[in-house]
Amino acid sequence: MSKPLISILTPFKNTSAFLPECISSIIQQTYENWELLIVDDHSSDNSYDIVNKFAQEDARVKLFKNSGSGIIDALRIAFEKSSGTYITRMDSDDIMRPEKLDFMLNDLQKYGRKHIALGLVKYFSDSGIGDGYAKYESWLNKLSTEGANYSEIYKECVIPSPCWMVHREDLIACEAFYPNRYPEDYDLTFRFYKNNIRCIPSRKLLHYWRDYSTRASRTDSNYAENHFLELKLHYFLDLNHEASRPLVIWGAGQKGKTIAKLLQKNKISFIWICDNPKKIGKHIYDVELYNFEHLKALKNPQSIITVANSKEQKIIKSYFKSIAMQPMEDYFFFC
User: For residue range 143-185, what is the model confidence (pLDDT) as tens digits?
Assistant: 999 999 999 999 999 999 999 999 999 999 999 999 999 999 9
How far is Cα of residue 255 from the mean position of the Cα atoms in its chain? 19
In this structure, what are the phi and psi dihedrals at residue 40, rounded to the nearest 5 degrees?
Answer: -80, 115
For strand 115-118 and strand 198-199, is the pairing parallel, antiparallel, or unpaired? parallel
- What is each CA distance from 321 to 105, 124, 294, 324, 327, in whole angstroms? 39, 37, 16, 5, 9
pTM (two decimals) = 0.94
Region of 6 on the Ramachandran plot (φ > 0 left; ψ -120 to 50 alpha; else beta): beta
Question: What values do phi and psi take at 198, rounded to 5?
Answer: -75, 140
pLDDT given at position 94: 97
Please, are residues 21 and 48 in contact by the beta-carbon 8 Å criterion? no
Amino acid at 70: G
Asked if residue 15 lies in contact with residue 93, where contact means CB atoms within 8 angstroms, the answer is: yes
pLDDT digits over 68-115, tens only? 999 999 999 999 999 999 999 999 999 999 999 999 999 999 999 999
Phi and psi at residue 157, to the nearest 5° = -65, 120
Between residues 227 and 277, the one the model is more confident about: 277
As to burial, measured by CB atoms within 10 angstroms (0-12 exposed, 13-18 middle, 19+ buried), residue 181 is middle
Kindly report the three-state secondary structure assignment for every residue of the chain. CCCCCEEEEEEECCCCCCHHHHHHHHHCCCCCCEEEEEEECCCCCCHHHHHHHHHHHCCCEEEEECCCCCHHHHHHHHHHHCCCCEEEECCCCCEECCCHHHHHHHHHHHHCCCEEEECEEEEECCCCCCHHHHHHHHHHHHHHHHCCHHHHCCCCCCCCCCCEEEEHHHHHHCCCCCCCCCCHHHHHHHHHHHCCCEECCCCCEEEEEECCCCCHHHHCHHHCHHHHHHHHHHHHHHHHCCCCCCEEEECCCHHHHHHHHHHHHCCCCCEEEECCCCCCCCEECCEEEEEHHHHHHCCCCEEEECCCCHHHHHHHHHHHHHCCCCECCCEEECC
List, in sequence order, every residue forming a beta bridge with 287; answer none if it has no partner.
Answer: 284
Q: What angle do CA 14, 99, 103 make, to 5 degrees?
A: 110
Mean pLDDT value across residues 270-288: 96
Rounded to whole angstroms, the Cα distance separating 114 from 166 reads: 8
The identity of residue 22, as a single letter, is C
Q: 126 falls in which pLDDT band (50, 70, 90)?
A: confident
pLDDT on residue 215: 58
Contacts of 171 by beta carbon, 8 Å cutoff, 6+ apart: 79, 87
Domains and CATH numbers, the chain: 6-223 (3.90.550.10), 242-333 (3.40.50.720)
Separation of alpha carbons 104 and 167, rounded Å? 11
What pLDDT band is residue 227 in, cutting at 50, 70 and 90?
confident
Tell me what the pLDDT averaged over the chain comes to: 95
